[in-house]
Amino acid sequence: MTDEFIRRVTGCRRCPRLVDYLAMVAPAKGRSRQDYWNKPVPGFGDMKARVCLVGLAPGAHGANRTGRPFTGDGAGDFMYPLLHRAGFSNRPQVEDLQDGLELRDLYITNAVKCVPPENKPQHLEYQNCLPYLEEEFSALENLRVVLLLGQGAYNSYLRLLKSRGEIRSLSEHPFAHGACFQPNVNGPHVLASYHTSRYNVQTGRINPQMFLELLSKARELAGII
Ligand code: SF4
């Protein structure tokens, strides 16, 4: 994305509850507030990407600390090695903005760019942030697959499709792991996944094989060899 977009997102204060929360997120043990990004977190990746992965929101001690989606928390620790195995990146481990990570044919972002209390954005916060997500999609001219992690991100994207008249209702397309449809023959496929949160991994709701199969499906739908 352009520097101008990144400046606008990182300076955004549209959601008062989230702005207040950012000011009071307590650092994890052994860290100080100076170690934290503590701003909205824009997406990143290959602007020629055919696949866009959308999560819910920055993790309090992951993306909200490092400034990059899924970097520094359990969800990313699960996901990035598998993205590498599937051919979407140049390295399996990630640490921070200086780790040299490059995505290939993949762009990663969140439906809501600010960390929400208890990982639960409110409806208005999804709505406030949707224009940024829309801008990211518009900038991805080769986009063929939108891979949505978790019901929050999935429903947020479906609301965007509904506002464009590409679907009639959200209830016609219920969330399920592996759910897939193409709302418009000229537009990207929609592919749903359980979120890769530490909770979902620890409870066995999602495992590496399930996620790898979904990444393989995303590559196939996107025509990536
Ligand atoms: S969640 Fe999005 S719209 Fe709300 S303050 Fe953060 S960047 Fe702005």
Query: How does pLDDT run across 169-196, given as a tens digit for each residue?
Result: 999 999 999 999 999 998 999 999 999 9
Q: How far is the CA of 219 from the centre of ligand 1 (A)?
A: 30
Per the structure, how many domains does the chain have?
1
Instruction: Answer for the pair 76, 70: CB distance below 8 angstroms, yes or no.
Output: yes
CATH code assigned at 130: 3.40.470.10
Residue in 106, 101, 1 with CA at minimum distance from that of residue 49: 106
* Residue 55: Cβ within 10 Å count: 28
Q: How far is the CA of 12 from the centre of ligand 1 (A)?
A: 6
Largest pairwise CA distance in the chain: 51
The predicted pLDDT at position 137 comes to: 96
Which residues form the domain of 16? 3-222
Sign of the C-alpha dihedral, residues 77, 199, 154, 209? positive
Q: Is the CB of 14 under 6 A from ligand 1?
A: yes
Distance of CA 124 to the CA centre of its chain: 18
- Does the pLDDT of residue 204 top 90, yes or no? yes
Q: Is the CB of 112 under 6 A from ligand 1?
A: yes
The pTM (predicted TM-score) of the whole model is 0.96
Q: How far is the CA of 131 from the centre of ligand 1 (A)?
A: 10
- Does the pLDDT of residue 26 top 90, yes or no? no
Residues in CB range of 71: below 8 A, 6 or more apart: 62, 63, 94, 95, 96, 97, 101
The predicted pLDDT at position 30 comes to: 87
